[in-house]
Structure 1
């Protein structure tokens, strides 16, 4: 019987040859990369100490990224960042990215070339599935589990069932990878892929560049998935050849691979989609929401602060101004992307339009700082969650959508289809 992409990656990483890599089986495996940030790292460090501490097994496999409380918004946030610095120093971890020296973890680590096709990636953050954009198996794990990996250089996985999402057709104007995952969430709900691997492929996947594939895989966890993986193609190969610093191997499913379910998505019929409060599955077409006033538009996050996103935003903001009574914030996901945007004149364009441009940070995404919402405010954002309190006060409302729609909404001061501008 053939194997899915997830099964193949677990097969190549398993320890011992007596385990069957099939849905439901449990395998021991070595991961290629361990990813922690300043929100989950300090907790994992305490678990590590409680397990006996000492040296980490393979320091070069570990990446520590300061992004959630960076720059520190308070003394409590400063302590979290301090814990990261101390652990990196004491354990000899070279891949430590402090404030101003990196960016948001899920964009930064692949940008730096430390994960690639065929890799197995474990992270303390639930959106580690973003690695699937690069044909890798990425998944969020418990903080105690992350500590154990750092100590033992191995972990275990229950092999997930896989779901196949076959994309075809040419995408319509203003449709991005964000709309693909929002459409899927509308179709299957927030528990429709519980502990499964969501596999994306078909001729339509070539419509999306690497950046837009990040937008798809970033939100697989919102459907309850263990991971989400884009099949390998020429776009994947080109990216890996230009970027990856470590071993990689393109992985695709066998023709006779078995799936729990199969789904078809016709991109030519897809519209820009928006998730209404208070769930990522509460999705409708942007056409059904026109006229809703927004107090703040937030453009950025670990999958939608890419250079592609910034170019999409600029294409809408060019020659226009942010509406009176609406705030606009734009957050490049990494320092490198920030500098590329500066070189292309995008940052100047954003500022001239009346938007605030922030250093790379997760602050406003989870409602911690740099743009948290007040009681009763309405926001449109390119982030991945819109639960109560996600963007700040529990009395605020957050709508989710792609960068074109976000920029158009900032100009109109209300949710609007960008085609109407």
Structure 2
């Protein structure tokens, strides 16, 4: 029997053919830490007595959740990571001077590469599967084991093949595709499995769409999401100084899948995930009918804080004003995206419309700072989770949507179809 992309990546790393269900020990190309979860990993690393990282160039530490620090506790938390970075003279250490949300920053820097095995102590590490890599989130102690040994243990996941067909209609993006997948199979429908995204639709998706698609694989319980390398991928990587040579893997025609999911994208409307699960997806048409007023709109996060998202929002907001009773917060995913948005005049459009344009941070997405919502407030967000209390008060409501829906809703003050 043939192999899936994920099986081939692991086979390449261990030096022999592996199949789904096998337990393997595998070298890791990139270990990713952040200011929230890495201090636990650092303590475990130091308690082990090991003095040097097994693969220092394969360890990236990105300060992105509460940077600049929001309070004394977050400042002290960040200091642990900073002290460690300076002590070990980390090459891939990114703080306020070159900041960004880790899952946008590392692809931008060429630090995650097709064919890699990547882990991070952040569940949305699966984002990097958009580059044809195996990438998954693990716990902080798993991260420390990789810091000490350069590898970790994995159970090779079974795969679900998602076949997207047709050309996406107006204002249908990667966010809508993954929300539809989660709506169909549920938040545990791909538990510890690979979601392999295929079909003729993929050729119509930008890299930003693909990052969004793989980012939310975890919201279906998946171990990883992955898209095979094609010309769009190669064009994205062309100007990057890649950390390693790229390796392209493709699933065999006779590869084994535990399930195949077929979705005709040409028939898809923008999808809105109602509270309080990403699987609670409904058509934007339903949301408009429900006449849902919104107190806040948030455009950003590792899911939809990329340049394409800002361009989409700016086109809709240009010459318009945010509704009187609605707040609009826009957070670019990296400083490079922020600079480009300024060069293109997008930031001026946002501010003239009445939006707040912030520094790159994960803060609002996890209800940390820079956009917390209050009692009984309703928010349209381009983030990845809408659990109870995710962005603030437990009585608040989060509606997940793409950037076009979010921008249009900010103007009207209620969930709006941007088409």
TM score, norm. by length of structure 2: 0.98
Contact 2:101 2:301 survives alignment (8 Å): yes
Provide the C-alpha distance between the structure 2 equivalents of 1:31 and 1:221, rounded to a whole number of angstroms: 20
Q: Structure 2 CA distance, aligned partners of 1:391 and 1:294?
A: 14
2:49 alignment partner, one of 40, 52, 76: 52
Residues 138-194 of structure 1 show CA distances to partners (whole Å, capped at 9, x for unaligned) of 100111110010001111110100011111111110100000000001100000000
Q: Does 1:331 align with 2:315?
A: no
CA shift for structure 1 position 303? 2.4
Match of 2:202 among 189, 198, 205: 205
- Which of 228, 248, 252 is equivalent to 2:225? 228
2: CA distance, partners of 1:81 / 1:220: 28
Superposed CA RMSD: 1.0
Q: Spell out the pairing of 1:259-274 with structure 2 (5 A cutoff).
A: 259-274=257-272
- How many Å separate the matches in 1 of 2:418 and 2:278? 21
- Which residue does the alignment assign to 2:141? 144
Correspondences of 1:8-407 after superposition (within 5 Å):
8-14=8-14, 17=16, 21-245=18-242, 246-290=244-288, 291-407=291-407
Distance in 2 of aligned mates of 1:305 and 1:181: 16
What is the CA–CA distance in structure 2 between the aligned matches of 1:32 and 1:153, rounded to whole Å? 8
Superposed displacement of residue 244, structure 1: 4.6
SS in 2 for 1:183: helix
Work out the CA distance in 2 between the residues paired with 1:125 and 1:53: 24
Aligned to 1:409: 409
CA distance in 2, matches of 1:272, 1:120: 33
Partner SS state of residue 243, structure 1: coil
Q: Distance in 1 between matches of 2:376 and 2:201?
A: 40
Q: CA deviation at 1:212?
A: 0.8
- Where 2:238 maps in the other structure, the secondary structure is helix
Separation in 2, partners of 1:160, 1:244: 31
Aligned residue pair count: 416
CA contact (8 A) 2:216 2:303 kept: no
* Structure 2: distance between partners of 1:168 and 1:100: 42
Q: In the aligned structure 2, how far is the partner of 1:306 from the partner of 1:198?
A: 22
TM-score (norm 1): 0.97
> Does the aligned pair in 2 maintain the 1:298–1:381 contact within 8 Å?
yes
Check conservation: 2:30, 2:60, Cα contact below 8 A: yes
Q: C-alpha offsets along residues 9-51 of structure 1, whole Å, 9 cap, x if unaligned?
A: 111112x64xx51111111111110100001111111121222
Alpha-carbon separation, structure 2, partners of 1:56 and 1:116: 21
Work out whether residues 115 and 244 of structure 1, in 8 Å CA contact, stay in contact via their aligned partners in 2. no
Q: Displacement, 1:89?
A: 1.0
Query: Is the Cα–Cα contact under 8 Å of residues 329 and 356 in structure 1 kept in the other structure?
Result: yes
Q: Secondary structure at the match of 2:10?
A: helix
Q: Spell out, residue by residue over 1:37-70, the C-alpha distance to the aligned partner (whole angstroms, 9 max, x if none).
A: 0011111111212222411111111100011011
SS at match of 1:23: coil
Q: Is the 8 A contact 2:188 2:220 kept in 1?
A: yes
Q: Is the 8 A contact 1:69 1:80 kept in 2?
A: no
8 Å contact kept, 1:164–1:261:
yes
Give the Cα–Cα distance (whole angstroms) in 2 for the partners of residues 260 and 333 of structure 1.
35
